[in-house]
Amino acid sequence: MNPDYCIYQQRRQRVLQQLGQDGIAIIFAAPEQRRSNDTEFPFRQDSYFYYLTGFPEPESALILNGREQSALLLCRDKDAEREIWTGFRYGPAAARDLFGFDAADSIDQWPQQLSKALPGHRQLLALWGLYPEHDRQIMPLWHTMVQQSGYRAASKGTIAPSELVNLAPMLDQMRLYKDEYEQSLMRTAAEISAQAHIRAMQTTRPGQFEYQVEAEILHEFMMRGARFPSYNSIVAGGKNACCLHYVDNAARLNSGDLLMIDAGAEYQMYAGDISRTFPVNGRFTPAQKAVYEIVLAVNQTSITATVTGADWQQISQQAIHQLTQGLIDLGLLQGSVERNIETNAYRRFYMHGLGHWLGLDVHDVGGRFNGQGEPLLLQPGMVTTVEPGLYIAAADDIPPEFHHIGVRIEDNVLVKESGNEVLTASVPKDIDAIEALMHH
Ligand code: GLY
Ligand code: MN
Ligand code: MN
């Protein structure tokens, strides 16, 4: 076995322990996605499957057998002719040896292998709902078994599972805490993302198109070993920044406008996710500066508060409070902070959350509450984004100098035993530092 893959074997062992003698789990690779006739989107492995296998190929599955405490990989067979067209495949035998599975078989055999392994397990766990076509394939196998042997039958060893259980909560709980290896990959993903934002600040000029800035970003990602962005880059000049998930990136950049970029690299499956906002011509106007300073202060206060034991809901509430006060100071909201929060008036200018978990998925799994609905307090190894923003669309009741100002400042923060580590610290966010970089 290649030692690089030990980490995945250890994760499988942790899942097998939690399954105990009673549970059997099946996890599928991601499907390939057609882009147009005879061409596919670049393949991206399923995050759960990857987390437990490190195995890169589509048309694969993993069966974790609790009774035997064993891991079976199902994957594509070697096929000399197909490999000439679509490239190398490991094949079951080599995959088993290299990636450290107990056994491997052809992917065609997964229904037979699952049916064979089901008897005697009380629970069948799967990522129900993630790939409905697989749910539809699993159900008839289970039905057949229930009809043949029943799940109340006395003879242990032949009974069908009586519980179909969602595997996601167990895996989500594991994925929420990034181990040292994951932390180092995320550090790299964040640093590559940061360098791409720096390049964008250095190269942006009035008159360019947004997609030309996007090209600089993707260039930097790839030159540094990140083949893909972790989500479609948002390169939004002027009023486009007020559209939260703008991905057209097709407009011309005007001097006097701000440019909001939300872009992150995916490095060895782990996501970076950075937003920065800067003036197209390199100088903030007084109104842009005023809005920017409010968002920056909230970004910094919130990051300082992102430490072990803290309650994310409280940090988010504090951010809303601070942004609302800022909007009142600018004259964009009237009345008290409390009243503007009570009536949701602030939401006209700040309409998203303060952040999300980050990991294999850019919006990573885990949730912000535990099973009892209580807030999950921050713990070492968790990685969250911190991304306050203000978005001021043009309207009659807004002074013209504030029209079309959209600002988001987003960093990636690793919670540590003491304090935190801002993984995205290399890319400037102070006004002076940004202006200096742009005029260098
Ligand atoms: N890039 C998507 C987000 O910030 O949530
Ligand atoms: Mn984000
Ligand atoms: Mn983002």
pLDDT, tens digit (0-9, with 9 covering 90-100), for 326-382: 999 999 999 999 999 999 999 999 999 999 999 999 999 998 998 888 999 999 999
Mean pLDDT across 422-440: 96
Separation CA 349–CA 332 (nearest Å) = 9
DSSP string, 12-68: HHHHHHHHTTTEEEEEEPPPP-EEETTEEPPP---HHHHHHH----SS-EEEEETTT
Provide the 8-state DSSP code for 339.
Answer: H
Distance 354 CA to ligand 2 centre (A): 9
Probe residue for ligand 1, chosen from 383, 385, 424 as the CB with the greatest number of ligand atoms within 8 Å: 385
User: What confidence category does residue 156 fall into, taking pLDDT thresholds of 50, 70 and 90?
Assistant: low
Mean pLDDT across 135-149: 91
Give residue-wise pLDDT tens across range 43-62.
Answer: 999 999 999 999 999 999 99
Given a cut of 70, is residue 422 above it in pLDDT?
yes
Separation CA 321–CA 191 (nearest Å) = 31
Given this model, what pLDDT does residue 120 score? Answer: 87
Given this model, what pLDDT does residue 151 score? Answer: 64
pTM above 0.85, yes or no: yes
Mean pLDDT lowest among 39-43, 84-88, 101-105:
84-88
Contact 186, 358 (CB under 8 A): yes
For the chain, the residue count is: 440
Give residue-wise pLDDT tens across range 213-244.
Answer: 999 999 999 999 999 999 999 999 999 999 99
Given this model, what pLDDT does residue 277 score? Answer: 98
Given a cut of 80, is residue 117 above it in pLDDT?
yes
User: What confidence category does residue 392 fall into, taking pLDDT thresholds of 50, 70 and 90?
Assistant: very high
Give residue-wise pLDDT tens across range 184-214.
Answer: 999 999 999 999 999 999 999 999 999 999 9
Pocket of ligand 1 (CB under 6 A): 231, 262, 273, 356, 362, 387, 410
User: What confidence category does residue 16 fall into, taking pLDDT thresholds of 50, 70 and 90?
Assistant: very high
User: What confidence category does residue 440 fall into, taking pLDDT thresholds of 50, 70 and 90?
Assistant: confident
Separation CA 104–CA 63 (nearest Å) = 10
Given this model, what pLDDT does residue 124 score? Answer: 97
Written as six digits, the tokens of 60 are 């694969």
Mean pLDDT across 131-136: 97
Nearest CA to ligand 1 atom 4: 273
Written as six digits, the tokens of 124 are 């069948």
Max Cα–Cα distance, the chain, nearest Å: 79
Which of 122, 117, 134 is CA-nearest to residue 28? 134
Given a cut of 60, is residue 157 above it in pLDDT?
no
Distance 274 CA to ligand 1 centre (A): 8
Mean pLDDT across 257-284: 98
Is residue 201 helix, strand or coil?
helix
Residues annotated as catalytic are 38, 245, 262, 273, 352, 356, 363, 387, 391, 408, 410
Given this model, what pLDDT does residue 133 score? Answer: 96
Given a cut of 50, is residue 154 above it in pLDDT?
no
Nearest CA to ligand 1 atom 3: 273
Burial class of 286 by CB neighbour count within 10 A (0 to 12, 13 to 18, 19+) = exposed
Contact 190, 386 (CB under 8 A): no
Any residues with CB less than 8 A from the CB of 115 and at least 6 apart, and which?
Answer: 141, 144, 145
Which of 100, 81, 105 is CA-nearest to residue 11? 100
Given a cut of 80, is residue 155 above it in pLDDT?
no
Provide the percentage of residues in the chain whose pLDDT is more than 70: 98
